[in-house]
Amino acid sequence: MFKKVIANLLFATMVLSLFACSSNATTQSTTAATTVSETTIAETTTETKPNELTLDILMEQDDSMRNIYTLLAVNDQAPFADVDGNAIKDVKINTKGADAFINWLLGEGADIADNYKYDEYKMHLFNKLDGAPKPASTIEPATDETRVIRLSTTTSVNDTGLLAEWQKKFKEEYGYEIEVYSAGTGKSIANSKLGNADLILVHAKAQEDKFVEEGFARKVDGFDQERLSFLYNYFVLCGPKDDPAHVREAATVQDAFKAIADGKFLFVSRGDNSGTHSKELSLWPKELGITIEPSSFEKYSDWYISSNAGMGICLTQAAEKGAYILSDKATMSAFIAGGGVIKK
């Protein structure tokens, strides 16, 4: 009997010991699993720091790189036509609203542009043009018939946030709503030729002159010409900070473009018939024969990238590819300030 009791006690002790070892092993396993899990979470939630922006302004304020912004009122009797050349009838142009906005832009609007974000950037993104026309009439408040004004404009005034500031101020003061179509100059002009704009704000003189010659522009009361140039900034040649083409050392911007072409360094072109694209095309060596036509740069496809996109998108592409690019200074400054993102 006594031996049986001893045997049972030994058995119980063994069971308890085994249970304790199992429990301890389970606890260690759980602790280890918890540690791994927390480490994994810590690793996956650590914020990735953005890469340093490598795109920089390399050449600016060359006299040949001045970028002038011009207002044109759309003629309500213009030969509007669709993309197939068929006449578009019954186009309604808000001439009173367009005249009000143009006069406001030539006065208070130009002042806003001249000071826009100066405190933030410590420089002028836009400048009032010397000798620019002044407002020619008082500005009438909006009515139900004139309230909505359609503006077809270039990307730089939109991407920098200046346009939003204009819209806000003009609505607060006079009650107008500005509907915006923002694209390159070529596309903005094409949009207005469809009858989809009351005025345009663009920056490519040759295209503006053609717009006038074809009868799409009109003289606003009080002015002696259709083209009303009032702001300017500069085109800037941008590229990698290490500048492999050595464009910083070039005597002129034309020499800089030649160095890029000679070395076959990557270049991102707007390729969209915008004012910036038109300026770029004028700066390449003539013997290259680069024009708006895709066939003209096919043989340069190993270094010349035609994007057919807006300025912000093209700047992003250039930064990612380590390429050179021509930009207006206002948009490039906003791009740099945003660390590679344009924040309006």
Stated pTM of the model: 0.81
Same domain for 223 and 256, yes or no, is no
Q: What are phi and psi of 43, to 5 degrees?
A: -70, -40
Sequence-separated (6 or more) residues with CB below 8 Å from residue 140: 96, 100, 146, 174
Q: How confident is the model at residue 186, as a pLDDT? A: 96
Same domain for 251 and 107, yes or no, is no
Question: Which of 211, 233, 255 finishes a domain?
Answer: 233
Pick from 240, 305, 220: nearest CA to 270: 305
pLDDT along the chain (344 residues), means of 10: 41 41 39 30 32 86 88 98 95 98 98 96 94 96 98 94 97 98 96 98 97 98 98 97 97 96 98 96 97 97 96 96 97 91 75
CB atoms within 10 A of CB 175: 12
Q: How confident is the model at residue 29, as a pLDDT? A: 36
Sequence-separated (6 or more) residues with CB below 8 Å from residue 196: 150, 152, 181
Write the Ramachandran bin of 87: left for phi over 0, alpha for psi from -120 to 50, otherwise beta. beta
Same domain for 262 and 123, yes or no, is no
Same domain for 179 and 239, yes or no, is no
What's the residue count for the chain? 344
Tokens of 166: 């204009």
Full domain range(s) for residue 175: 67-233
Q: How many domains does the chain have?
A: 2
Write the Ramachandran bin of 198: left for phi over 0, alpha for psi from -120 to 50, otherwise beta. alpha
Question: Which of 207, 233, 259 finishes a domain?
Answer: 233
Residue 229 CA to residue 227 CA, distance in Å, equals: 6
Q: Where are the alpha helices (H) located in 46-159, listed in sequence order? A: 95-104, 110-115, 118-121, 155-159
Residue 304 lies in a domain: yes
